[in-house]
Amino acid sequence: MQKRQVNAIVDLAMLVTFVIVALSSLVLFFVLPSGGPGWRGGTGSAALNVFLGVARSDWVDFHEITGMAFLALMAVHTLLHIPYFRNIGRCLFPGKSDRGSVSDLL
């Protein structure tokens, strides 16, 4: 598999996990807040500890697991882009020589 294909798969997986983390955080913050129903914009129903048939504790687990997956994918994404980071000075300052000092980039 080419590096380009691996990068595309990693980027797509990052997008999916990011969307899941974002949506689950909205559910946890607005629908199933940690301070109990009615706190921080909750619905106010005393019995609300489940949303879409899923308990709050399961939402938290799902949020944390997908968050960790996102972090792992971000690490892989960063490793795949090491050549870019090595050459970022040339991208930012195209007229500078490659043998300049670090202070030339600042």
Q: What is the pLDDT of residues 7-20, one digit of tens each?
A: 999 999 999 999 99
**Confidence at residue 103, expressed as pLDDT on a 0 to 100 scale:** 53
Number of domains comprising the chain: 1
CB 33 within 8 A of CB 39: yes
- Specify the pLDDT at position 100: 53
Residue 12 belongs to domain spanning:
3-105
Neighbours of 44 (CB within 10 A): 9
Residue 27 has a pLDDT of 92
Residue 87: what pLDDT? 86
pLDDT below 70 — which residues of the chain? 36-48, 96-106
- How much is the pLDDT for 25? 95
Q: What is the pLDDT of residue 50?
A: 87
